[in-house]
């Protein structure tokens, strides 16, 4: 999945960008205060997308 599409999906579920790192972006779900990192690759593996969604407590893609 393209990173830009995945970030839009996270924002759809009200996840916010907490901070930017050199290799990862850190997102937080303010409803449950769960945090997950998203790599800065143009393509993100589908398995990793599902794991990030599970970490943030939002529905899987």
Query: pLDDT in tens for each of the 61 residues of the chain?
Result: 999 999 999 999 999 999 999 999 999 999 999 999 999 999 999 999 999 999 999 999 8
Residue among 56, 59, 57 nearest 37 (CA):
56
Q: Indicate the CATH number of 3-56 among 1.20.120, 3.30.1490, 3.30.300, 3.30.920.
A: 3.30.920
Contact 60, 54 (CB under 8 A): yes
Contact 61, 1 (CB under 8 A): yes
Contacts 24+ apart (CB under 8 A), 9-12: 9/61, 10/38, 10/52, 10/56, 10/58
Please give the DSSP secondary-structure letter assigned to residue 22.
Answer: S
pTM over 0.85: yes
């Amino acid at each position: 999945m393209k990173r830009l599409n995945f970030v839009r999906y996270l924002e759809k579920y009200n996840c916010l960008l907490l901070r930017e790192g050199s290799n990862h972006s850190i997102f937080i779900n303010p409803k449950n205060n769960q945090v997950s990192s998203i790599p800065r690759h143009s393509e993100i593996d589908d398995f990793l997308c599902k794991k990030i969604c599970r970490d943030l407590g939002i529905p899987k893609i």
